[in-house]
Structure 1
Amino acid sequence: MKRLSLALTALMVLGLAATSFAADIAVKGSTTVQPIMQKAVEAFMAQNKGISVSISASGSGDGAKALIDGSTPLAMLSREMKESEIKLAKEKGVSPKQIIIAYDCLTPVVHSSNPINNITMAQLKDIYTGKVTDWKDLGGAAGAISVVSRDSSSGTFEYWNEHVLQKERVYARAQMQASNGAVAQVVGKQKTSIGYVGLAYAHAPGLKALTVDGVAGSVENTLNGTYPVSRGLYLYTNGEPTGDVAKLVNFILSDAGQKIVASVDYVPVKASKSAMAPKKGKK
């Protein structure tokens, strides 16, 4: 009986030891950063068999909350953390460290059948604040504009609200969506709709990407600073990343990781350091 007890104890210890070798990193936050993370994590885990990484994307705000409450060691944000979030984090003993991994441009999209090809920043503001509600006022066929927007927990919404709406209230009839993919899906099915998505989603089925003030959303125009709605994409950790989290971050910032950034239609940080130096209002 004693031998059986000892054997069971040994098995339990071995089981715990085996479990300890399999790391588990839960990454949470922005749906805009999600395409980068999904492809990068797949390549990273192929090289690091003992490390398991899960990704949950529901918005930048949720990523910040998860970092603050300790449910993720690595948060994805498509905006900088707010002063209020940083203050709350510090009150809870968390020291947010910002790591920029890519740049993006927010791209207005319409249904592929829409004859409109270009839109101005002023027109976008008027549409998203409800001042312009019919396509005929923009040179299109008569018909009510179906406005599609990201929801308020999204860093994409906050950036759009600040830089396009200039902090005015979004149109009350706007259809608020939880992700870039959801916006792309709705606009791709509604012929009278307009939405905005990260560059990686701008060429989804059924969509037409609009130029803004005559400038196309692209890697080149993000790099040269001519596209008017460009921003940084971030990871946040609690202090300097260590262990397996540091390995993952370093992989994303490596040449191989930055090639993955480019492969999903975002702008690599290394290629953009000189062209995308920090500017007022460009996050």
Structure 2
Amino acid sequence: MDNTNHKKALINSEIALFLRGLIIGKVLTLMVIGGLLWWLLKPNLSSRSSVDSSSNQSFNRVSSTASNFKTVTDVPNAAFNYGGSTAWASIRQLVDSQIQSDRPELQLRYVDPVNSSPGSSSGIRMLLDGKLDFAQSSRPLTDEEQAIAKERGFSLEQRQVGMDGIAVVVNPSLKVSGLTVDQLRQIYLGRITNWNQVGGPNLPITPLSQRPEDADTVIFSSNSDLKGQALGSNVQYVYSTTEAVRQLSKIPGAVYYASARSVVPQCSVKALPLGQNSGQLITPYREPMISPEQCPRQRNQLNTQAIKDGSYPIIANLFVIIKQNKGREEQIGYAYTKLLLTDQGQKAIEQAGFVGVH
């Protein structure tokens, strides 16, 4: 009995050893096969990684390739009428002349309004009336303008191509440290009427402005801010920024707001620092300020950094207004926008004194 049990124990032990060896052998076999497969696949994985990396590098190269006026496609071979914002004057002079030099098949003709002063509003109105093929604006479209377009069977699209600031300018003799955005609005609503209410001398304020229907730029942040609020009765309306600058040099208490690019370099006016509150006033010009005595040998330059980083409180975005009607107007609107958004176009916009959007 004891011998029989002993034999059974030996047999069980041998079976266990055999099974353990078999399992170990299979594990080792799988490891060898796995290692072999890894070795065989390694070049392919490496190659795939190399392809992915090459693809990314190629994408980055394409993205960063400098573009210019000559690389833009779908530029129509024809003459077109355009106009609008007076703030765009330096772009029309510098940038558009470069475009037409590089793309002679495209002819751009600036058209002044007939019965109103030139500006963003009058330009958009002329576009709606079919007198322009596209418009240049220093303010966004209004709900009313969009509604008029819809009534006439098309829509308007705004494409941003640059940035400007809105500067507030006064007579150089006026001693005022600056204004908050709210103080500026209260002045134009007729609620602040003397400079002594904002830390200045006892001197009546004479606000100058283009008429709202012809305005080139706006100081109210949205349409809703103006609803039901007429400008103050003491506001004197001017035809253009040029006329306003002349009036400022004659009226000690006068104030005007316009494109910073247009008025900051002027010798006969002084731009005021602006802020959301009186403790954070930002200059629209690069400091130190150039005095009128130093001008025109030196001129104040736009504070492009404050506009770029958003610290300057009133920004005016530059828009191309495109007439979406599936016609030649839509084609030239998009083509002109693409030209301005090339690397060459953005560089030229900055050379014209504005801030690019790239």
TM-score of the aligned structures, taking structure 2 as reference length: 0.63
Decide whether aligned partners of structure 1 residues 122 and 249 sit closer, same or farther in structure 2, where only a CA change above 3 A counts: closer
**Which position in structure 2 is the counterpart of 1:235?**
320
Decide whether aligned partners of structure 1 residues 242 and 143 sit closer, same or farther in structure 2, where only a CA change above 3 A counts: closer
Matching residue's letter, 2:81: A
Decide whether aligned partners of structure 1 residues 90 and 164 sit closer, same or farther in structure 2, where only a CA change above 3 A counts: closer
Aligned length: 249
Return the match for 2:98 from 40, 43, 65: 43
1:265 is paired with a residue whose SS is coil
Deviation at 1:216, TM superposition (A): 1.7
**Which position in structure 1 is the counterpart of 2:219?**
160
In the alignment, the residues of structure 1 paired with residue 352 and residue 90 of structure 2 have an alpha-carbon distance, to the nearest angstrom, of 7
In the alignment, the residues of structure 1 paired with residue 77 and residue 347 of structure 2 have an alpha-carbon distance, to the nearest angstrom, of 27
Matching residue's letter, 1:226: S
Instruction: Give me the CA root mean square deviation.
Output: 2.6
Alpha-carbon displacement from aligned partner over 1:21-69 (angstroms, at most 9, x marks no partner): 9732111222223332332211112223343212235122222222222
Alpha-carbon displacement from aligned partner over 1:132-152 (angstroms, at most 9, x marks no partner): 222233333332222111211
1:248 is paired with a residue whose SS is helix
- Aligned residue runs from structure 1 range 1-283, under 5 A: 23-56=78-111, 58-157=118-217, 159-162=218-221, 166-167=225-226, 168-201=229-262, 202-213=264-275, 214-217=281-284, 218-239=303-324, 245-270=333-358
8 Å contact 2:139–2:317 — kept in the other structure? yes
| Structure with a larger share of its residues in strand | 1
In the alignment, the residues of structure 2 paired with residue 67 and residue 165 of structure 1 have an alpha-carbon distance, to the nearest angstrom, of 24
8 Å contact 1:188–1:205 — kept in the other structure? no
- Counting aligned pairs with the same residue, the percent is 22
Question: Which has the larger Rg?
Answer: 2
8 Å contact 1:199–1:266 — kept in the other structure? no
In the alignment, the residues of structure 2 paired with residue 129 and residue 244 of structure 1 have an alpha-carbon distance, to the nearest angstrom, of 39
In the alignment, the residues of structure 2 paired with residue 48 and residue 177 of structure 1 have an alpha-carbon distance, to the nearest angstrom, of 37
8 Å contact 1:61–1:153 — kept in the other structure? yes
2:353 is paired with a residue whose SS is coil
Deviation at 1:246, TM superposition (A): 4.4
- Consecutive unaligned residues of structure 2, counting only runs of 5 or more, are 1-75, 113-117, 276-280, 285-302
In the alignment, the residues of structure 2 paired with residue 153 and residue 139 of structure 1 have an alpha-carbon distance, to the nearest angstrom, of 32
- Consecutive unaligned residues of structure 1, counting only runs of 5 or more, are 1-20, 271-283
Alpha-carbon displacement from aligned partner over 1:107-144 (angstroms, at most 9, x marks no partner): 11111222223112232123222222222333333322
8 Å contact 2:161–2:357 — kept in the other structure? yes
1:258 is paired with a residue whose SS is helix
Alpha-carbon displacement from aligned partner over 1:4-29 (angstroms, at most 9, x marks no partner): xxxxxxxxxxxxxxxxx973211122
In the alignment, the residues of structure 1 paired with residue 133 and residue 164 of structure 2 have an alpha-carbon distance, to the nearest angstrom, of 23
Alpha-carbon displacement from aligned partner over 1:65-99 (angstroms, at most 9, x marks no partner): 22222221111122222222222213323232221
Matching residue's letter, 1:224: D
1:131 is paired with a residue whose SS is coil
**Which position in structure 2 is the counterpart of 1:9?**
none
1:64 is paired with a residue whose SS is helix
